[in-house]
Amino acid sequence: MIETEAFGSTGHHSTRVLFGAAALGAMRQERADAVLETLLEFGINHLDCAASYGDAELRLAPWMREHRERFFLATKTADRSGEGARKGLERSLDRLGVEQVDLIQLHNLADEEGWQAAFAPGGAVEALAAARDRGLVRFIGVTGHGTRVAAMHLRSLEQFPFDSVLLPYNFTMMSQPAYAADFEALLSVCRERGVAVQTIKSIARRRWEPDDASPRYSWYEPLRDPEAIRRATQFVLRRPGLFLNTSSDATLLRTVLDIAAGTESEDRSSEALAAELEADVAQQGIEPLFIPGVEGL
């Protein structure tokens, strides 16, 4: 089983690995059911979905009827207007077949225009706070991609007491000094305030090469080598207070969960792991998904 840790100040102890429900977006229900059975096998108790993840919310709905109490249920809205965010949340509740989600997150709030709109009077932040008051959601978070997102999350936390943040964290991203400094500053504030920190892109290899004809289950190319995946997963989980969101490539789910279930027994030093990760970068051709000036998704 995978260890749990307090998810910020929510009162919930989430498994250190959170299921990224983007993996369900294009699946038939039968395949999604098999994936969700795997989550029960490993004791995963936190689902991270979004309105924009294809049919993911619909794939979760049958499971919510039977297993709602077993899972901390999170979804996201990309709407920045108050009306849009309110309607988006209500649509998600309907698609999930629930009366309340545990966490609603402002999806990829990383650009200035969207940030200003979300925090404006009548914007998404105000609407989601009202939805919390109405009991439609228990907690509110913020997510994002790119090299500027940690600094943007800090700005967001100055304006509103978010319960969680979500952003990229892996060896190559943290090898960029500016991003690492912003991440550490954000992590310090989150620890002081009891804000949960969710990480994404833990097993990312690089952006897809244009001539790569491999099946694509995520917008980036993930690592495939089991030992490289092991080291990338351990890089996240060896650090207390960080949660790892699984990849949208469900073919790698069991590999990651098996690794996470055995992480407590790992006794290598941080220095030894760092040296192995450096070797992986060279041998696997690992590149940061985000670099300054090339933000992409």
The pLDDT score that the predictor gives to residue 269 is 85
The pLDDT score that the predictor gives to residue 1 is 81
For the chain, give the percent of residues with pLDDT over 90: 92
The pLDDT score that the predictor gives to residue 297 is 41
The pLDDT score that the predictor gives to residue 270 is 86
* Residue 238 CA, distance from chain mean position: 17
Phi, psi of 161 (to 5 degrees): -80, 70
* pLDDT band with cut points at 50, 70 and 90 for residue 221: very high
Contact (CB, 8 A) for 97 and 68 = no
* Second-level CATH architecture of 4-284: Alpha-Beta Barrel (3.20)
For residue range 56-94, list pLDDT tens digits in order.
999 999 999 999 999 999 999 999 999 999 999 999 999
pLDDT of 295 > 60? The answer is no
> How far apart (Å, rounded) are the C-alpha atoms in residues 77 and 71?
20
For residue range 225-269, list pLDDT tens digits in order.
999 999 999 999 999 999 999 999 999 999 999 999 986 556 678
Q: What number is the average pLDDT over the span 195-199?
A: 98
Structure-token pair, residue 266: 């790992």
* pLDDT band with cut points at 50, 70 and 90 for residue 292: confident
The pLDDT score that the predictor gives to residue 84 is 98
Q: What number is the average pLDDT over the span 285-295?
A: 84
Q: What number is the average pLDDT over the span 111-135?
A: 98
For residue range 142-157, list pLDDT tens digits in order.
999 999 999 999 999 9
* pLDDT band with cut points at 50, 70 and 90 for residue 189: very high
Nearest to 17, CA basis, from 281, 297, 234, 172: 234
Nearest to 79, CA basis, from 69, 68, 90: 90
For the chain, give the percent of residues with pLDDT over 70: 97
The pLDDT score that the predictor gives to residue 268 is 76
* pLDDT band with cut points at 50, 70 and 90 for residue 172: very high
* pLDDT band with cut points at 50, 70 and 90 for residue 6: very high
pTM of the model: 0.96
Residue 114 φ/ψ region, left for φ over 0, alpha for ψ in the -120 to 50 degree band, beta for the rest:
alpha
Angstrom distances, CA of residue 95 to CA of 52, 56, 193, 210: 12, 9, 33, 35
Average pLDDT, the chain: 95
